[in-house]
Structure 1
Amino acid sequence: MSVILIFLAGIAAIITWWMAQQRLTSRPWLEAGSVGDAPHAPHLNGSSIATAKIGLGVFLAVVGALFTLFISAYFMRMGLQDWWALPIPGLLWINTIVLMLSSIALQWAKVEAQKHHAEAMRAGLVAGLVTGVGFLVGQLFVWRELVSAGYVLADNPANSFFYLITGMHGLHILGGLVALSRTTLRAFEAQPPGKVLLSVELCAMYWHFMLLIWLVLFALFAGWANDFVDICRQLLT
């Protein structure tokens, strides 16, 4: 339980830092400015941008809490005698690298969009979309490989947790791909990069978070999290 609290505290710290970057603590009524500036569109645009980012931040906080509950249940269940951990297929390593490349591609697209480089932004979006689909397809092949080796869903609790958690992560990736596809299509509709900048930033933010979640899950399945738990228990005791 202590480890779960530490993990939740880490997520809360990241979200708090990110929200601070969105100037949630600012006092606009104390900021200097002329009266004529109030009705202009840039203020409204800035407000809508901040609202969209805050909304995504809240959603990611909920997603992080959901996976934290899964991880907590995983730790509690793995201590029983009927638990046999699954072997880690080599393809899972490749999928992890592919998801990293997808996150890097979207970060590149975000940077290029901020610089108003339309072609480079589109290339980054396409690369992120292709690698994102590649990760999802690779996960399906991992499932197929494990089932072929006899690690079926109802064989033991470790199998059930693996399919449940990776399936839930895959559904979130699928939802992200839908949003990313729409953003990519808009980017190719001869729109200037500034008009899709917010969408690109939100997609990149979502993708980075899903990569972080996957790295934690991968460490969990690989058994590295057990060592982390032991270290935390020693420090807390």
Structure 2
Amino acid sequence: MTGRLILRTLSELCLTAGALTVLLVVHLLLWTGVRADRAMDHEVAALQDTWATAPPAATRAAATPAPAYRDGRPFAIMYIPRLGADWHKPVLEGTATGTLRRGLGHYAGTARLGATGNFAVAGHRRTYGDPFKDLPRLRPGDEVLLTDGVTWYTYVIDKPAYLTLPDDTGVIEPLPAPLDRSATPYSAPGRYLTLTTCDPEWGHSHRLIVWGHLDATRPVGEGMPTALPG
């Protein structure tokens, strides 16, 4: 009887542990994604409301300097047509854990949007909305478009995703300088874009890096870039 009781107890414990594991996976896959999607939609809507009530873009661009990026606050929206017609995410200042739960995070200290240097952005590969889940799909020639409510910035991807280690901080330097110097497509200063996320999808032992260069800008008053539907 004692052996059967122990076996039954162990079986019940295993079933309980299995149920808890399933609940945890559901939480990671679904609930954090739902909450993150809501948070990102809120940040996008807040930006669009701010832009809609601001002075005309042409007046702002000519008369006032660009405001400083505020830690944890959104300042731009990113669109990547390759990742879907509906793919768009807010870009916030900083890469703190709480910030990346509400959108993409701009590495503090890297270049401003459209400026000379390296505009570097991080995003979750999995959980919290999976914003960069499909980053490996990007190919040379793909466009990444951003707007700050005044200007549209079009960056063009220069090479497929590059795999490196988390401590390879040279990838976000003004002139990208990865540990493997042969990996960078750049040899002179310019206006660059760096996108970073974790690899593998459910781990963080490595980082995926995608680089691009600024190809064009246009005032928002001229309408959306042709690469964006609608």
Give the number of the structure whose residues are more often strand, by fraction.
2
What TM-score do the two structures reach when normalised by structure 1? 0.29
What TM-score do the two structures reach when normalised by structure 2? 0.30
